[in-house]
Amino acid sequence: MKTFKVTLAYDGTGYYGWQEQPGLPTIEGLLKKRLIKLFKMDVPFTGASRTDVGVHALGQVARCQLALDISAERFKVIVNRILPPEIMIRSVEEVQEEFHPRVGVQEKTYYYHFFVQQPVPFLSSYGLVVKHLDLTLLEECLQVFKGKHDFRSFCTGDQGRTTERTINSLELHFYKRYGVYQIRIKGPSFLRHMIRRIVGACFEVSSSRKSKEEALACLSQTLEGKDPCHTLFVAPAKGLLLHSIRYHERGI
Active-site residues, by number, are 52
DSSP letters of 134-197?
Answer: -HHHHHHHHGGG-EEEE-GGG--S---S--EEEE-EEEEEEETTTTEEEEEEEES---TTHHHH
Q: Which residues contact 27 (CB under 8 A, 6 or more apart)?
A: 8, 10, 12, 15, 17, 18, 47, 51, 60, 87
Contact 111, 182 (CB under 8 A): yes
Residue (of 57, 60, 25, 29) closest to 43 by Cα position: 29
Cβ burial of 110 (10 Å; 0-12, 13-18, 19+) is: buried
